[in-house]
């Protein structure tokens, strides 16, 4: 197949999944063209089946808001026409689904199928905003196939956006080889001083991630157990969190690591992963933690219960219930045997349900279905 993949190139999960999918499809023999406004952080262009096309958004003084959706649609038309793409698979509905459907119309009579994968905030925070709702609904309903990364997101899409199309659930995935490579490495333990336990969080530091709750859970755990918090990632809330840590004098016990392209190198060896999000359609970072045998303490929201099994590979608590999350964390840190069992169980679940081979096969089946008409 000749496949276009369009995504956001940032550190967010949707871009990571799209990039990993592009590389896996190319490795399996498909011709894959990645289209985005910058080269995605994880995209390694080492496969002759894989290429990258940059969407250039010209700046003109008239525009306070340069029309990215049009530049993307134009690039999709060009790439599809010159490479005779069979389909374009867009990740994150806003505005990618609309740009892809527009490209399909411009290209007619040359056929181009559109597959849209919904990732979360394109439905729960952005797509359902009244300023985007109509175009989001249209982009989704005009797609030839639609997938959601969890059952929870599938339901949310029907409730919040009001679409009637079939939506297949295709979960996010991990490449097991990446996690095998780091197994047994010291990883996060390199940051530990004098026997400290390591708590870890990875996110884009947006309000939805509730990073302050991460710090509050950590403060409570630290009252009972010597530990260090590693905060990986970057984003709009980071400055505020740093200020809070300075004021509360926890700076010495918290390390702001910044963005890391190979998260498994720091996840491995961590004692616990914290993800107290307000909402989370899947929680790719939680899956990556489980793949590294790190139990997850998270909130019982969205698609997280489809990834983290309460009492088996982590604990799920209510949003904002810092005390309960801290108690859950302490209970595991005080029982090393149980913590290890949770870690092993998490890794087994990641490999059984969310391995690359299985999920990429599901996407291929969907591509074949839409191409068969
Ligand atoms: O961060 C976002 O706003 C969007 C997106 C992203 O690119 O990281 O996050 C969503 O997609 C991920 C990949 O499918 C999911 O693992 C995240 O749970 C989801 N974020 C939310 O639902 C808040």
- Is residue 194 scored above 90 in pLDDT? no
- Evaluate if pTM is beyond 0.85: yes
Task: Name the segment(s) of the chain with CATH classification 3.40.50.2000.
Answer: 2-173+355-371, 176-353
Query: For residue range 352-366, what is the model confidence (pLDDT) as tens digits?
Result: 999 999 999 999 999
Beta carbons of 297 and 323 less than 8 angstroms apart: no
* Ligand 1 pocket, residues with Cβ under 6 angstroms: 8, 12-15, 17, 119-121, 149, 172, 204, 208, 279-284
The Cα 359–Cα 157 span in angstroms is 21
- Rounded to the nearest angstrom, the distance between the alpha carbon of 83 and the centre of ligand 1 is 30
Site to probe by mutation for ligand 1, drawn from 8, 12, 304 as the one with most ligand atoms within 8 Å of Cβ, is 12
- Rounded to the nearest angstrom, the distance between the alpha carbon of 283 and the centre of ligand 1 is 7
Average pLDDT over residues 92-97: 97
Q: Which residue owns the Cα nearest ligand 1 atom 12?
A: 13
Query: For residue range 236-268, what is the model confidence (pLDDT) as tens digits?
Result: 999 999 999 988 888 899 999 999 988 999 999
% of the chain residues with pLDDT over 90: 94
Average pLDDT over residues 109-113: 97
Any idea which residue has 């870890």 for tokens? Answer: 200
**So what's the pLDDT on residue 261?**
84
- Is residue 49 scored above 90 in pLDDT? yes
CATH fold label, 176-353? Rossmann fold (3.40.50)
Beta partners for residue 155, in sequence order = none
Residue by residue, DSSP assigns 290-313 as HHTT--EEEES-TTHHHHS-BTTT
Domain 2-173+355-371 in CATH 3.40.50.2000: yes
Site to probe by mutation for ligand 1, drawn from 121, 136, 173, 205 as the one with most ligand atoms within 8 Å of Cβ, is 121
């Amino acid at each position: 197949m000749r496949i276009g993949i369009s995504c956001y190139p940032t550190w967010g999960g949707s871009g990571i999944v799209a990039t990993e999918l592009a590389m896996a499809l190319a490795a399996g023999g498909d011709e894959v063209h990645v289209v985005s406004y910058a080269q995605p952080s994880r995209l390694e262009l080492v496969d002759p089946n894989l290429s990258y096309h940059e969407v250039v958004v010209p700046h003109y003084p008239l525009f306070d808001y340069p029309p990215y959706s049009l530049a993307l649609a134009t690039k999709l038309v060009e790439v599809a026409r010159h490479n005779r793409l069979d389909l374009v698979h867009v990740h994150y509905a806003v505005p990618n689904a609309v740009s892809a459907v527009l490209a399909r119309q411009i290209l007619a009579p040359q056929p181009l199928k559109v597959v849209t994968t919904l990732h979360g905030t394109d439905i729960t925070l952005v797509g359902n905003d009244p300023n985007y709702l109509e175009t989001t609904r249209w982009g989704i309903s005009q797609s030839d196939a639609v997938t959601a990364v969890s059952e929870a997101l599938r339901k949310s899409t029907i409730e919040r956006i009001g679409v009637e199309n079939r939506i297949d659930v295709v979960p996010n995935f991990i490449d097991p080889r990446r996690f095998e490579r780091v197994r047994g490495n010291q990883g996060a333990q390199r940051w530990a001083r004098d026997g400290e336990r390591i708590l870890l969080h990875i996110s884009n530091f947006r309000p939805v991630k509730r990073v302050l709750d991460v710090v509050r859970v950590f403060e409570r755990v630290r009252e009972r157990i010597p530990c260090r918090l590693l905060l990986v990632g970057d984003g709009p809330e980071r400055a505020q969190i740093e200020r809070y840590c300075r004021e509360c004098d926890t700076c010495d016990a918290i390390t702001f690591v910044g963005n890391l392209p190979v998260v498994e190198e720091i996840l491995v060896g961590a004692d616990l992963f914290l993800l107290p999000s307000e909402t989370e359609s899947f929680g790719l970072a939680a899956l990556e933690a489980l793949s590294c045998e790190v139990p997850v303490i998270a909130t019982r929201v969205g698609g997280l219960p489809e990834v983290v099994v309460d009492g088996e590979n982590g604990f799920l608590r209510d949003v904002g219930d810092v005390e309960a999350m801290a108690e859950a964390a302490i209970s595991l840190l005080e029982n090393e045997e149980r913590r290890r069992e949770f870690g092993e169980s998490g890794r087994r679940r990641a490999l059984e349900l969310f391995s690359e081979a299985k999920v990429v096969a599901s996407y291929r089946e969907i591509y074949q279905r839409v191409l068969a008409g």
